[in-house]
Amino acid sequence: MAHSHEQAIAGVTSGLISLGEEVTWKAWHFGLPLRMTSRITELDAPHSFTDEQIKGPFRRFKHVHEFSDDPDGTTLMTDRVEFQAPFGLAGRIVERLFLARYLQKLIETRNQYLVEDRSQREA
């Protein structure tokens, strides 16, 4: 995630995170330094976990990570994101115009990084 300089800076910053624990991330998006603190609100290991913003730039942000076995023996992760931008009507317009696509691309990029990182560790 070099393009956004994403970094865990507080809470659980390495290793596994558990139910009720929090992590604070800092990153650059839209040319602005942003911080977001999320808490693990649901955990059904090894099938899924949910993190929700408790402090940050969104009015609401919920990210569900679901894991399943792929027929080829790998693990398939499905991300489900629900969010609401701040600033009322203006925020809803921004969501529709570009924020939803931006978040989708960001998650796809992060997931590609995870696949590449795993491949490098297995080599």
Residue 81: phi, psi to the nearest 5? -120, 130
Strands 75-84 and 60-69: antiparallel
d(CA 78, CA 11): 25
**Cis peptide before 71, with omega less than 30 degrees from 0?**
no
Predicted confidence (pLDDT) per residue in 4-32, tens digit:
889 999 999 999 999 999 999 999 998 99
- CATH number of residue 83's parent domain: 3.30.530.20
Domain that includes residue 86, residue range: 2-122
Total domain count, the chain: 1
* List of long-range contacts for 34-39, beta carbons under 8 Å, 24+ apart: 35/9, 36/61, 37/10, 37/11, 38/63
The pLDDT tens digits of the residues spanning 81-100 come to 999 999 999 999 999 999 99
pTM of the shown model: 0.87
pLDDT digits (tens, 9 = 90+) for 31-50: 999 999 999 999 999 999 99
